[in-house]
Structure 1
Amino acid sequence: MKRNAKAIWQGSIKEGNGHLTTDSTVLDQTPYSFNSRFAEGKGTNPEELLAAAHAGCFTMKLSLDLTTAGYQVDQLETSSTITLNDGKITQSVLKLQAKVPGLTEEEFQKIAKNAEETCPVSQAFSFEIVLEAELI
């Protein structure tokens, strides 16, 4: 399986801007710029896209692992916060809230940690990953 995205940029780093398009068109000439990355400008940025990819991948992998273990998932809600320090991505913090009937806290933490370590996006990252998992 291969997935594609295209970035087009015009101009200098601070005054220029660009847009991103994916084959699925979920991103369809979605704007990004210096301000959307380093300030509060409109548009997306690479770190936001990494956060979405990490939250989505981890949550799907956890759903698979819980289902395989025989549990019925009511809801999994995950956020990812990507940290950019001095021009380097240094961390992704995954915050998970899960509603899974009949699951013990110990088993939940074990399955969640395994999903964090084995989801394809986690495996692609070389920076620190922190998992904060709450069973509600």
Structure 2
Amino acid sequence: MKRTATAVWSGTGKDGNGNLTTQSGVLKATQYSFGSRFEEGIGTNPEELIAAAHAGCFTMKLAFNLQTEGFAATELKTIGQIVLEDGRITQSNLTLTARVDGISDAQFADLVKDAEENCPISKLLNTTISVTHTLNA
């Protein structure tokens, strides 16, 4: 499987602007700029997209882990936060709220840890990853 995205940029780093388009078309010439990346401007930015990718990847891996053990989540909600410091992504913090009937806290924690370590985006990121979770919230 291969997935693609295209970035187009015009102008300088600070005063220019660009857009992102994904193979699926979910992003189609979606704006990004210095303002949307380092300030509160309109548009997206690479760190926001990485946060979404990591949250989505982790959550799906956890759903598969639960399925393997005979559980189905009522809901898994993960908030992803990417920390960019001095031009480097230094952390990816995931906060999970879950509703899963019949699972023990210990078993759930083990499945969360496995998802944290083994989702493909976790394996890609060369940074500190943390997951905090609440079960049956």
Alignment of 1:33-48 (within 5 A): 33-48=33-48
**What 5-or-longer segments of structure 1 have no aligned partner?**
none
CA distance in 1, matches of 2:3, 2:39: 29
Q: What is the CA distance between 1:133 and its match in structure 2? A: 1.1
CA distance in 2, matches of 1:73, 1:36: 34
SS in 1 for 2:42: coil
Residues 5-40 of structure 1 show CA distances to partners (whole Å, capped at 9, x for unaligned) of: 000000011110000001111000000000000000
4+ residue runs of structure 1 moved beyond 3 angstroms? none
**What 5-or-longer segments of structure 2 have no aligned partner?**
none
Alignment of 1:55-74 (within 5 A): 55-74=55-74
CA distance in 1, matches of 2:86, 2:135: 35
Question: 1:135 maps to which residue?
Answer: 135
Question: 2:14 maps to which residue?
Answer: 14
TM-score by length of 2: 0.98
Alignment of 1:1-136 (within 5 A): 1-136=1-136
* Cα root mean square deviation, aligned: 0.5
SS in 2 for 1:94: strand
CA distance in 1, matches of 2:89, 2:23: 26
Identity of aligned residues (%): 54
Q: What is the CA distance between 1:75 and its match in structure 2? A: 0.5
Q: What is the CA distance between 1:46 and its match in structure 2? A: 0.4
TM-score by length of 1: 0.99
**What amino acid maps onto 2:96 in structure 1?**
L
